[in-house]
Amino acid sequence: MIPQLQCLLTGTDKNTFQQLSEYASKLPWLNVMGNVINTREARHYLQEFDIDILFCDAVTVTEEEMENFLKKKGDKVLTIVVASPEELAACNFKCDVFSFLQKPVSFEKFFNALSYAKTYLHTTASKSVSAPVDYVFIKSEYRFYKVKFSEIIFCESMKDYTQVYVANKNKPIITLQNLKTFVNKLPKEEFVRVHRSFVVSLASIDVISKNEVIIGQKFIPIGESYRSSLFQLVEQSS
C-alpha cells in the first residue's frame, strides 16, 4: 500500500485554490488537510499535522514569518508556489521552493507536479533508511523500554506527555514527549492519527465506525480533521 501524502493549500485566490482542492480529490494517494487563507492558519496546520506538500501563493510564501517558519522546516515540507508570471517576477524568495505552478493550473500540470513531488519524497525516504528497524526505545522516568512497533496498540496524548499502550502490559508506558514528537519515531505506514489525542496501530484495529475506532474494549473517537484520511486508507487496504 502506498502511504498517503498530506498536503495543505493556502492562498488568497479562492477560485484557484478551490480548483486545486477539486484536483486533489481525484488522487487517492493525496489528502488535503486544509484549505486556508492566512499565514497564521497555515502555520497552525504545519505545526499540528505532518504536512508533506504545501501549495501556496507567491505572497504567502514571501511573508517574513512564513519564510522563517519554512526555513526551519527545511525539506520536511515541499513547497509548491502557485502564481502568475507577474506575481513571480515581483517576489524575492528566501526559502526553498520545490517547484512552481503557473496560473491557470490545469489538472495535467497539477498531476505532473504532484507525481514529481511524490517520487522525490519516496526516493528521499528510501535513501534515509540505512538499516530497517522494527522497534523504538521509549524513555520513561530513568529507564528506556525497547518496544517493537508491532506491540504498540495505540498512543494517547496527555498534554505534554504521551501514554503508549503496549500489548501484554497492564499499564501504559508514559513518556515525557508530546504525541507529535513521539509519533515521528513510528512508521507512517503502520500507524494512523485518528484524533488530535490518539494515534492507533492499523493492525490493532478491530472495528471502525463513523465516529470511533474500536480496539478490544477501548473506544477511540475519530476527529473531524482526520476522518477523511482514515477512511481513504481503509478503502485502499480493502
Phi and psi torsions of 30, nearest 5°: -125, 130
- Mean pLDDT, residues 18-42 taken together: 89
**Which cell numbers in the block locate residue 214?**
474500536
| Complete domains list, the chain, with CATH | 5-128 (3.40.50.2300), 135-237 (2.40.50.1020)
Q: Is the pLDDT of residue 2 over 60?
A: no
Among the residue ranges 22-36, 76-90, 115-129, 136-150, the one predicted with the least confidence is 115-129
Question: What's the pLDDT score for residue 65?
Answer: 74
The dihedral over CA atoms of 133, 200, 123, 96, expressed in degrees to the nearest 10, equals -120
The predicted-structure confidence for 200-228, as pLDDT tens digits, reads as follows 999 999 999 989 999 999 999 999 999 98
Residue 25 has pLDDT above 70, yes or no: yes
Question: What is the rounded average pLDDT of the residues 29-51?
Answer: 86
- How far separated are the first and last CA of the chain, in Å rounded? 10
Residue 30 confidence (pLDDT) above 50? yes
Mean pLDDT along residues 77-92: 82
**What is the spatial distance between Cα 62 and Cα 22, in angstroms, rounded to a whole number?**
25
CB burial readout 158-175, b (16+ within 10 A) else e = eeeebbbbbeeeeebbeb
pTM comes to: 0.53
pLDDT (0 to 100) of residue 1: 43
More confident residue, 127 or 178: 178
- Kindly state the average pLDDT of the residues 124-136: 67
Q: Transcribe 169-206 into DSSP letters.
A: -SSPEEESS-HHHHHTTS-TTTEEEEETTEEEEGGG--
Highest mean pLDDT: which of 64-68, 77-81, 181-185, 205-209?
A: 205-209
Most confident segment among 71-75, 117-121, 195-199: 195-199
- Return the percentage of the chain with pLDDT > 90, whole number: 39
